[in-house]
A and B are shown apart, each in its own frame.
Chain A
């Protein structure tokens, strides 16, 4: 597949790709419809404070992780078309609630529920995977992710204009958010009828039930448990913050902590249940894989996608206040961060494929992020705006390229477990966003950029230590001469059942 093929709308799979990335785009648009309107909200709702908005920003990424788990289960049962449609229609409800919410509780809860929309990424990836041939899947998924993520930029560009000039007045922002929700619901209905799960005649295969990731050694199992705790445990930070700001009673907080603790314990029990029998039996040498690589990629996605989600949530405000711009102009300029997505993310995957050394590509990208955010930390109002925009674009080019590169490496760690590994890494993006945005409630934007730079740098160090260049199968070659092809065939079948790489 050539890049230019994406213009062949008549091809069924290309059409499916476009329908799906637009769906993802719209969900992203709704997901980040608050940040560009933050200042308008502050103006029109007199009891809102900046701290409240920062809290909303955390809520906005909080429940994505549990939602991913639920959506994952639903995907296996109902297939991506139905799940995507239902998700879009359902999530328009909290979005409308948020648009017309009049009390703190209404706004807080609706934003929290709305954060589940972030799980749409997984749905579309599955849909894309069903339509394309193995050779083209990498590009198709990169394209889908990049163009879908662009939704946050589109929101930053268009929403202030819609709010101030189309609707105008005190409640302009409410109607702008409501409009995005209604469009999403309508598209959800359209998507249901416009697409099928894979080309006609595809049998929807149910994947093997996987409750926890398999590991190769006892040490890896301990690491896996340690890396699993933050997935849900990170929500404790949010509970603590809400309680801290006085929107949650001590009893309520205690209940929340107990639920989070129970979920974490449940996950750990699942890990033990899956892995203890396997490890007792012993993992064959050729089936082992290093968990350290998974951990390194979790950290990269934490530091790149987490940073993207966090920065997209605060950048419009930052530009508006630092250079005292209008909301519309700030939205436009802040959008330059997510704008690069159209090219940068697919390109990250492409470069990773092309260089032949994925580890090096990953390391370069992470280093670039650290440098980029450090430079953003240096920015202040005395800088010319155009330079600031240039640095923002530079940084985001690395951030999004690194996202592509991360998902470029994941399939080669352990092919059999790709789905679970990518699920874990993807969830770490949201963990990163929650952590970063929580930190953001305590610091100034400048310090915040330095902290993100430090995070990227730490991830870079982890990659240097842990990330292994995935080996392609030198050990597995199927030499078939005209004589022993039959024997080979039987052995291959045996191998397929024994699931070797």
Chain B
């Protein structure tokens, strides 16, 4: 059983990893943790530094996750890609890893704050939906393997 997890080191991703291990431990899964370093949309000369910083950060997260897997005695490997997370996760799943299941943690978009903040968030979400969409909705519409979306709590 090959399971690919989209892992960005956030709280939700860590929870998703823990949950996946809990749920599928008995199937002796082979985990692949995939992180995507996005190009920072910065237009100053600091762009490259920021990107390197992000890569280092993600690498550390992946290493932490590897340790978790080793402690839990689960076979795992990691992969770091660069580019648009949506496209790259799809690409990794279809072209590289061919997992039996993909696990992603949905980011919570609980609008908080007042009326203005809420309607702004709503508008942007709507724009997301009309266009490319957030990572989870994009993958849900396109991915060719079973997809498990873990809601954040």
Contacts and interface: CB of A to CB of B under 8 A. Distances in A.
B76 A482 contact: yes
A-side interface size class: 35 or more
The size class of the interface chain B forms with chain A is: 35 or more
B84 A472 contact: yes
B40 A134 contact: yes
B52 interface: yes
Contact of B124 (A3, A141, A407): A3
30 contacts: A3-B120, A3-B123, A7-B113, A7-B117, A125-B43, A126-B44, A130-B46, A134-B38, A134-B42, A134-B54, A135-B40, A137-B40, A353-B41, A354-B132, A356-B131, A356-B132, A407-B43, A410-B43, A411-B43, A418-B48, A420-B45, A472-B39, A472-B84, A472-B87, A472-B88, A473-B82, A477-B92, A478-B79, A479-B96, A499-B48
B7 to A, nearest CB: 12
A416 to B, nearest CB: 5
Given A137-B42, A137-B50, A472 B82 contact: yes
B135 to A, nearest CB: 12
Nearest to B75: A482
Given A135-B38, A480-B62, 14 more contacts: A2-B121, A4-B113, A125-B43, A134-B40, A138-B41, A205-B49, A355-B132, A415-B47, A416-B48, A418-B44, A418-B48, A472-B83, A479-B96, A480-B78
Contacts of A481: 77-78
Given A356-B132, A474-B91, A418 B62 contact: no
B47 A419 contact: yes
Interface in A121-163: 125-126, 129-130, 134-135, 137-139, 141
Contacts of A135: 38, 40
Interface of B: 38-55, 59, 62-63, 66, 70, 76-84, 86-88, 91-92, 96, 109, 111-114, 116-118, 120-121, 123-124, 127-128, 131-133
A2 B43 contact: no
Given A419-B44, A420-B45, A351 B131 contact: yes
A473 B83 contact: yes
Contacts of B120: 3-4
Contacts of A472: 39, 82-84, 87-88
Nearest to B43: A422
Contacts of B46: 126, 129-130, 205, 207, 419
Contacts of A354: 127-128, 131-133
Interface of A: 2-4, 7, 125-126, 129-130, 134-135, 137-139, 141, 205, 207, 210, 349-351, 353-356, 407-408, 410-412, 415-416, 418-420, 422, 472-474, 476-482, 485, 489, 492, 496, 499
